[in-house]
Structure 1
């Protein structure tokens, strides 16, 4: 973890020099950051993007109706243009995540002598890049890919989203096969697994399963093949194998939600009525873990899109708002939900859909400080107990509840599974978004390719349905 601040130290050292010729150097873009520091920074930036509640970058908790705003309602009503969320999300992935990971790849030979370790490091970078590209493609659709991240390609073309996705799955397959458990990786600069190569293999396979299931409605045959390959190769099988980023209890490496909810001293967010009412209807004990009661001692959420008085509604719970609450790339509960869906679709991944569904809910309970016994009681309730004929509903709703602190993942699953059935927010500027518009910089700088990319997906609108979202 300490190495993730290496770049900041490097900048500080550069600023203290007495050699005036150094004034001509761009200290904001150091040319000699080591590969392992750039790898750590890429990991950190990816998980921060997935975790942050900063309305300038991420409004997904409002879209899927976990949170509601008190001071302004732009993101709750799907106005992502006001603070240029479209641009900041795009730049975050292309520059801060993918840019740093590619720079790390280029520097591997300089900082690692062992060829086997070099190969492992390249595979680890591939896995992290695929995870990042997954979010880029499922957010926007067609995007620059084959010509992206290349300084010689100033105006990269937009590649077909489905073609990109199939290539991402191939990259995961290749990376899993390339990883050598007898060799090292990035050492403790790998803040997900400490370079445990067995766990990196499982991460690659689990991400492959996730991408396969994302394709399931668009291409069931390919999804079946990829899901079965991933399960056979070995996916995450316990909470200990979850891909978690361990934030620290103090800045600058704390959980960004703490920054927005606690450190800021602002009262901008409350619980949303949709999630609170769903949890109350099922007497789900996770309610007390996710939120706090209002001043009257009851759990109540604000209506989507309606400005909500902070004192009248439930607030973000202390677990979610903790400075050291881990960020999640993918975890055991999600893996079991994916396996449950795969079996429900007739894919041969082992086990029964109900058994995987039960394990997923149990894993969610335990992750939030409840017990397996609590989960068993909950799973026996009508409306929670698995019903095979309505698998999309049951898996979709429980996954939505489990993903309460993972807004962008919940948004993807809502688009795929169509549950829970949400209604558009009050005074919404559009229907519930099915994608995010392209960055305004693309319109201004890469205009020709932007126009073709927009045309090919059916228009640069939030209502445009992406290739995987068939229903």
Structure 2
């Protein structure tokens, strides 16, 4: 009787073990796959665990924000594995599976345009992961094995360029095509716009590897510009925010856990930057734009700092905890202009001079963020003002002596610093990209943190990566050990990634 009962149950096993609000994979049709893709777009940006995934890692290391709670140690260069577990597992159990399914179903049903778009999105979200960790689970995802191998970052980047080639070829053949329609939260399925995003993404990734493989970087960058990158703000790539998928940063702005970094306040104040009130709110006490130095010792942090320092601008504020509808930035025209400016500085064919493209990047950002008119833009571009000293307890000097006005007589590093600093301002609040660029170039130089708790990373150095999620050590140990071997150093936050090859002698020392 027991065997009979077991047999009867197993005949209905799938039915009994499928939650009523979920569909099994075999029932996902082309008509439904758009919903899976939309899910992967939002969750692929670390939507659920934005605080532990972005704010308390990349945003701190880019020096957009600094942390307030005494118990939070990442701003003092100490890893927190429990935080990494949260957003690592969220990525690999939510965003990655939905995108994997999207690619599979669109390929099996000959939905060429939709499949190409999904491939481009794979490059978007996995590039963020590999630039955090180095080797990650990538080509072997979905194998459902007991041990899932990681890919080296070098191999991942090579596959990124290959994937963009494949997707771009399809979209070029279908310029009027559409994939996913309104389910696509970036361009509503517009094939021509996704092609420009693919080219723009190629340019971003090409520049990332310039110190690791200069020849390939130039080849890929020039190819991207020739094929056409995003050049106007109307084509910027943003993930739409809705009442069901609110702006990611605004999900946590009811908290007091982070405030403006002194590096941002010194820079924007000194430049009299019109984006200041767009990016930040004045302090409650004193009604001034005020920042905090990064790396405050625990004894100096606490809720008492919240009212005397600046928080994010109103477009991200969500006192009702419901979030705002500000779109989530993926990539913009200003970034493309600054990337082209750097390429031109390196002697590449970028369709303009370094100076002109630098000024174009400034104009695009100012016009997008604060609707600046030509007179305001010109005044900013020609300003010789430098970042400001801060009247804080440390008597912080100005974070740099860098003017906005492009220094045509300056050397390569001076001009590069200007380009990256203005790109850093324009990227806000995208800490993922800003931190990657700070590691790659050393700019903006930023302030030295007040105190480091790390025995291996001093207060005047940079954190180079995020350490792996402990769950991989406990459940995927053999693959984890191989990943560390490919990393080329210990699984520590001071180990440099494959593309992080700029000579340390060329890095600026943060301002003390």
TM-score bracket, shorter-length normalisation: 0.7 to 0.9
CA contact (8 A) 1:93 1:132 kept: no
What is the deviation of 1:156? 2.0
Pick one of 299, 306, 309 that aligns with 1:310: 306
In the alignment, which residue of structure 2 is the partner of 1:209? 203
Matches within 5 A, 1:353-368: 353-368=354-369
Runs (5+) with no aligned partner, structure 2: 1-11, 319-323, 385-402, 503-512
CA contact (8 A) 2:293 2:447 kept: no
What is the deviation of 1:93? 3.0
1:175 correspondence with 2:163 = no
SS of equivalent to 1:159: coil
The separation in 2 between residues aligned to 1:70 and 1:303, in whole angstroms, is 11
The separation in 2 between residues aligned to 1:156 and 1:55, in whole angstroms, is 25
In the alignment, which residue of structure 2 is the partner of 1:145? 138
CA contact (8 A) 1:273 1:302 kept: yes
In the alignment, which residue of structure 2 is the partner of 1:106? 104
The separation in 1 between residues aligned to 2:497 and 2:426, in whole angstroms, is 24
1:271 correspondence with 2:256 = no
The separation in 1 between residues aligned to 2:381 and 2:84, in whole angstroms, is 39
What is the deviation of 1:353? 1.1
Pick one of 185, 189, 192 that aligns with 1:191: 185
The separation in 1 between residues aligned to 2:290 and 2:75, in whole angstroms, is 17
In the alignment, which residue of structure 2 is the partner of 1:232? 226
The separation in 2 between residues aligned to 1:158 and 1:215, in whole angstroms, is 20
The separation in 1 between residues aligned to 2:158 and 2:14, in whole angstroms, is 48
In the alignment, which residue of structure 2 is the partner of 1:11? none
What is the deviation of 1:20? 12
What is the deviation of 1:321? 2.9
SS of equivalent to 1:158: coil
The separation in 1 between residues aligned to 2:159 and 2:276, in whole angstroms, is 40
1:346 correspondence with 2:347 = yes
Pick one of 491, 494, 497 that aligns with 1:460: 491
Pick one of 132, 152, 168 that aligns with 2:125: 132
Q: Which moved more, 1:52-61 or 1:444-453?
A: 52-61
The separation in 1 between residues aligned to 2:149 and 2:22, in whole angstroms, is 26
1:437 correspondence with 2:467 = yes
SS of equivalent to 2:429: coil
CA contact (8 A) 1:270 1:301 kept: yes
CA contact (8 A) 1:269 1:315 kept: yes
The separation in 1 between residues aligned to 2:165 and 2:107, in whole angstroms, is 23
Q: Which moved more, 1:118-127 or 1:23-32?
A: 23-32
In the alignment, which residue of structure 2 is the partner of 1:297? 287
1:259 correspondence with 2:251 = yes
In the alignment, which residue of structure 1 is the partner of 2:241? 247
The separation in 1 between residues aligned to 2:95 and 2:282, in whole angstroms, is 37
The separation in 2 between residues aligned to 1:451 and 1:217, in whole angstroms, is 26
1:386 correspondence with 2:403 = no
**TM-score, normalised with respect to structure 2:** 0.81
In the alignment, which residue of structure 1 is the partner of 2:73? 74
CA contact (8 A) 1:335 1:360 kept: yes
Tell me: CA distance 1:53–1:278, structure 2 relative to 1, closer, same or farther (3 Å): farther
In the alignment, which residue of structure 2 is the partner of 1:122? 115
Runs (5+) with no aligned partner, structure 1: 1-18
The separation in 2 between residues aligned to 1:129 and 1:343, in whole angstroms, is 29
What is the deviation of 1:219? 0.8
In the alignment, which residue of structure 1 is the partner of 2:379? 377
Q: Which moved more, 1:398-407 or 1:370-379?
A: 370-379
In the alignment, which residue of structure 1 is the partner of 2:506? none
In the alignment, which residue of structure 2 is the partner of 1:286? 275
The separation in 2 between residues aligned to 1:182 and 1:296, in whole angstroms, is 54
The separation in 2 between residues aligned to 1:219 and 1:21, in whole angstroms, is 50
CA contact (8 A) 1:43 1:128 kept: yes
